[in-house]
Amino acid sequence: MSTRRPHGERETGAAPDDPAPGNGGDAEAWVFETLRAECDPAGIVTLTVRVPGHRHNVVTQSFLLDLEAVLDQLDTGLPPLGLILTSGRSGSFFSGADIGRLETLLRAAPPDIEWICQAGRELFARLSSRPWPSVAVIDGACLGGGLEIALACDARVATAAPHTLLGFPEVKLGLMPGWGGTVLLPRLVGPGAAVEMIAAGESIDGPAALRLGLVDACVAPEAALAAARTLIHWRRADNAHMTARRRLSGPVDIDPAEREFLAATSAAVIAGRTGGHYPAPPAVLETILAGSGLPAREAAHIESKAFTRLITTPVARNLVRVFRLGERNRRDTGVAAGESPEATAPRDRPAVVGAGIMGAGIAAAHLRSGCGVSLIDIDPAALARAVPGILEEAAWDRATRRADPARAAALAGQLRTATQTSLLADADLVIESAVERADVKLALLRDIEAVVGRSTVIATNTSTNPIARLAMALEEPRRFCGLHFFNPVRRMTLVEVVRGPATSDATVAVAVAHAKRLGKCPIVVQDSPGFLVNRLLMPYLHEAVEMLREGTPATRIDRVSRRFGMPLGPLELYDLIGLDTAFYAGLVLADAYGDRIEASPVIPALVRAGRLGRKSGGGFYDHAGARSSRPQADAAATIAPLLAPYRLPERPTTDATIADRLFLPIVLEATRVLDEGIVRDGHDVDLAMIHALGFPPFRGGLLAWADSLGAAEIVRRLEPLADLGPRMQPTPALLALASSAGRFTGP
């Protein structure tokens, strides 16, 4: 902060020593690298921010220096009537701090981190420490450090536009606000609301921010600047901004009993959400409670120390890495060389063939993203059953936890349905989502190709059928690929874009771009049995059943997995997927990888007994019903007779051994995947494990976790398990890394 940037250039070309805006001279505007300062005839200065080199405004070092410089200029002359801070980018106020700065802080010494926190707060505080009032105009994303800038102003005007969102997402990076967020927010909205907003990391829209007291007005975008000017005149008229400043500088007035209740209830909620794996949310609670009882200046020191502790944790480092993986994926076109604009032009006439669970989910994803879609199924009854659920899912409002009837009615006009493939004649992208039978898919793909135009991309949503085999139905296999969505489509963000032997780069680029348009995270994989996700899932599920056969209780296996950070244990996941579904997928994988994974006899035994999982009321566990949210009940006594014929000798085991047997085989399979070129690099492995299988983000991804152990340590842990066969024996790639002290994730 101490490095001064030269004064901005005056647009009129006046000499550098001319008066700054607001000092009564004839200057009108000064331009800096990241912002423009302009004074209107009434003496109100407007700072318009546009940070170059970024899609959205972010808090960079250049912006901080420019803000410091313009505030210095305002201090040198007569004070302005007021100051308005707004954005020059449509739909973006500030999207938070530059992630590059955070990565620099990860390597900084604690005293330096605390100094940076303090310097940033002191700079922002200058927005509300002068005689004139300041107002932030928030139109678009106002997140993290951007919201801290807005909070540092005397008042805030938010727009009622859908793109306007306010929040503190730092906990998703293992962090907390460090520039005054935990100090100012509790003083504006109360400690309870502040804890909920910061510890949860969720954003709220303009109207909700107004109800909470976070903003002073919520208006239409075109009225925001006028509202800000009005607030300045009102605040100047009765000096209300000075009164508010005195109030915000002191402790928060909270009853001791209320404080104790907040501490107890919030701690319980946070523990339930985080499972004890994420240190940021409890640190937020502790910091807000400690700081609320002190003057703001002292509370700020508590915040700095808490932020410093968090940013030096492995969890923060891993979550920042995961964020970077997501950024990389958003920029990735799916192919090595960029395709022509024609190849990746938006597909505005997509169609889905098949109105089953997956087809309906894919159609709903299109509507939810604002893309009209055609849905075709030869069975009129299937269409009739699917449409209400599609509209309900597409119109689901997360805030109210129910579908918005008005939105559902509006979306109905964007959904076309038909029982004849002739409706596909004008489609530019067709996603086939029929049943997982190769003969049905082959016949349907022939029908689709016969109807659509030559430039139409044809994709199949399959989890088990080889793309090369299905492509045999087509005369032009270059335009064919897999587009594998996961169930439930609304919640699962990963999509596998499966490249067949003949699939062109243009087809892959179209599929990747379309998946992103639907808000998904696409990764490109080569055609192979199980593709990527099911191949990595296979050893995890298989080993759980093998341990069950050895006498390890299902509840213990799943408990160890959840303690590791997985959302479900492997046997719980079996019940969720459906054992019949898992059985057929297992046959495909066992046929391809039988040297290390044999088809388990336990799964077909449970299927024959009618124990299919949640859908039938019982699998490895007993369930109250297919759709019940009640916890599952232990079914060990019920399934014991089914397991008896397939029991294996017992092995001495510990929870650590269970964890190794569940997760180390996934690492081994990932090394094989990389050696075979199934994905382009390990980043896609980590994204797939996180987004499709729920691998804990706080561990940074599967390969980042493997690096935390080290290849040599993994080899050591596998030694006592070697008698279990090839599935527990180190691969050549693992041994090479162990001998060279190499890393799974590269340098």
Q: Is the pLDDT of residue 3 over 60?
A: no
Closest CA to 363 of 442, 448, 452, 427: 427
The span from the first CA to the last CA of the chain, in angstroms, equals 32
581 band by pLDDT with thresholds 50, 70 and 90: confident
**What does the pLDDT look like over 146-170, one tens digit per residue?**
999 999 999 999 999 989 999 999 9
- For the segment 459-481, the average pLDDT, to the nearest whole number, is 94
pLDDT higher than threshold 60 for residue 461: yes
- Average pLDDT of the chain is 90
- What is the pLDDT, as a whole number, of residue 341? 55
Each residue of 266-292: pLDDT tens digit?
999 999 888 889 999 999 999 999 999
pLDDT bin (cut points 50, 70, 90) of residue 339 is low
The CATH superfamily assigned to 9-311 is 2-enoyl-CoA Hydratase; Chain A, domain 1 (3.90.226.10)
Cα–Cα distance measured from residue 530 to residue 464, given in angstroms and rounded to the nearest whole number: 6
Query: In the CATH scheme, what architecture does the domain 534-740 have?
Result: Orthogonal Bundle (1.10)
The pLDDT of residue 340: 55
Cα separation, 718 vs 645, in Å, equals 28
Q: Which of 110, 101, 10 is nearest to 60 (CA)?
A: 101
**DSSP 8-state symbol, 141:** E
Report helix, strand or coil for 334. coil
Higher pLDDT, 138 or 590: 138
Mean pLDDT of 316-326: 95
Q: Which residues contact 544 (CB under 8 A, 6 or more apart)?
A: 557, 558, 561, 569, 570, 571, 574, 662
Domain(s) labelled CATH 1.10.1040.50 in the chain stretch across 534-740
Task: Give residue-wise pLDDT tens across range 621-680.
Answer: 999 754 544 557 888 899 999 999 999 999 989 999 999 999 999 999 999 999 999 999
- The H-or-E segment that residue 111 falls in is helix 110-125
For residue 196, CA distances in Å to 214, 282, 653, 740 come to 13, 11, 41, 47
Q: Which residues are tagged catalytic? A: 484
Task: Please tell me the distance from the alpha carbon of residue 169 to that of residue 162, in angstroms, as a whole number.
Answer: 18
Q: Which residue has the higher pLDDT, 400 or 562?
A: 562
List % helix, strand, coil for the chain (3-state, nearest 5). Answer: 55, 15, 35
Q: Indicate the pLDDT class of residue 458, thresholds 50, 70 and 90.
A: very high
The predicted-structure confidence for 443-456, as pLDDT tens digits, reads as follows: 999 999 999 999 99
CA distances to 311, 533, 655 from 685, in Å: 26, 8, 26
From-to residues of CATH 3.90.226.10 in the chain: 9-311
Alpha helix segments (H runs only) across 239-313: 240-249, 256-274, 280-292, 296-311
- The size of the chain, in residues, is 747
- Give the per-residue pLDDT at 338: 61
Q: Which one is predicted more confidently, 484 or 15?
A: 484
Fold of 350-527: Rossmann fold (3.40.50)
DSSP 59: B
In the chain, list all ranges with CATH 3.40.50.720: 350-527
Residue 631 has a pLDDT of 59
pTM assigned to the model: 0.89
